[in-house]
Structure formats: structure tokens, C-alpha cells
């Protein structure tokens, strides 16, 4: 997922910290954060994943006028897009500096390795993606590496 502009906003960090159940004031209270070692509001370690909000084409978000494969009154019958059934196998972060409220980051993603494992139930296809998050000055802030896995049933099996 590549994103040109990912502004790190206080309200977004607050709601993200709430969602992961982390009440640490460094994610929500400007005064307490300013007095802490961090010196101001920062984002939780996994926050950069929420750059998806700023990707206009992010596939896992319903969009006006675009068919969605989730259910209304009943299952929609819309086909699941490629990758929609993939599961997250691994996630790795390298932190070059903390993500701070007020940062305007960019995210540049590139594909990494692809590999397969074959088991009794079918084939597992692993795909790696490396995303570099940089600040407005172009300095590296976070490097993220994710691995997704897609199960492909053996031909002839359900």
C-alpha cells in the first residue's frame, strides 16, 4: 500500500489507541506527553498500519458506488477480490524514530519475495511487502515488512 500523504492526527491516534485498549497518556494527553520522555504525543508502535485510511484505493474499505462483498440483509454474492481472503502471516517493524502527532508521512510499498508451501489441504502462497514510511523531510521513520498467506485448495477439492 503506497500513500502520498499520511498526516498523523491527534484524533486518529486517540481512536487507534482506544481500539487496541491502550490507555497510555502519551497517545492522548498533550500535557502529560510533553512532560514524558517522548516530549509530545506519539503514536503506538503498530499505528502506521492505519495509513490505509489515506490510501484512496485501499480495497478493504467500502466505497460509494462500488459493490462490496460483505452482507446486507443477506450475503451479497459479490466475488471476493484478489487478496481479500488472504490472511496476515507475519508483520515486522523497524523504528528509526517515534511517529509523532503532527508528522506528515508518506508510505512507499514494494513487493518482496513470494514463496509457496504445499500441504495436504492445498497450496499456501506467501507474499511479502516492504513499506517505507518517511517524514516530510524524506527521512525514514518506520520500515514495515508484512507477509500475507493465501490458501489455494488443491484442484478437484472443494
Partner 1 sequence: MTLKAAEVKAGDSRSQVVAESLTRTQIVQYAGASGDYNPLHTDEPFARDVAGYPGVFAHGMLTMGMTARVLTDWAGDSRLLTFGVRFTAQVWPGDTLTATATIREVTEHDGAPVALIDVVTTNQDGTPVITGTATARLDP
Residue ranges that bind partner 1, judged by CB under 8 A:
12, 15-16, 18-22, 24, 26, 36-38, 42, 44-46, 49-50, 52-53, 55, 58, 60-62, 68-71, 74-75, 80, 84-85, 87-95, 98, 145
Closest separation between CB of residue 138 and partner 1, Å?
A: 21
Closest CA to 100 of 34, 5, 1, 8: 8
Q: State the Cα–Cα distance between residues 35 and 147, nearest whole angstrom.
A: 37
Q: State the Cα–Cα distance between residues 44 and 25, nearest whole angstrom.
A: 11
Helix (H, G, I), strand (E, B) or coil at 26: helix
Q: Which is nearer to partner 1, 21 or 111 (CB)?
A: 21
Closest separation between CB of residue 136 and partner 1, Å?
A: 19
Question: Any alpha helices (H) in the chain, and if so which ranges?
Answer: 10-19, 30-35
Q: Which is nearer to partner 1, 75 or 137 (CB)?
A: 75
Q: Which is nearer to partner 1, 86 or 123 (CB)?
A: 86
Amino acid at each position: 500500500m503506497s500513500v502520498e500523504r499520511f498526516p498523523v492526527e491527534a484524533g486518529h491516534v486517540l481512536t487507534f489507541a482506544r481500539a487496541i485498549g491502550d490507555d497510555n497518556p502519551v497517545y492522548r494527553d498533550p500535557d502529560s506527553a510533553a512532560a514524558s520522555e517522548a516530549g509530545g504525543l506519539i503514536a503506538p508502535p503498530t499505528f502506521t498500519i492505519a495509513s490505509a485510511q489515506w490510501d484512496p484505493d485501499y480495497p478493504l474499505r467500502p466505497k460509494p458506488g462500488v459493490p462490496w462483498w460483505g452482507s446486507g440483509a443477506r450475503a451479497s454474492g459479490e466475488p471476493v477480490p484478489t487478496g481479500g481472503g488472504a490472511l496476515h502471516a507475519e508483520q515486522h517493524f523497524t523504528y528509526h524514530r517515534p511517529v509523532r502527532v503532527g508528522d506528515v508521512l508518506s508510505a512507499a510499498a514494494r513487493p518482496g519475495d513470494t514463496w509457496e508451501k504445499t500441504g495436504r489441504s492445498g497450496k499456501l502462497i506467501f507474499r511479502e511487502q516492504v513499506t517505507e514510511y518517511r517524514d516530510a523531510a524524506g527521512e525514514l521513520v518506520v520500515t514495515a515488512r508484512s507477509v500475507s498467506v493465501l490458501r489455494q485448495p488443491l484442484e478437484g477439492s472443494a
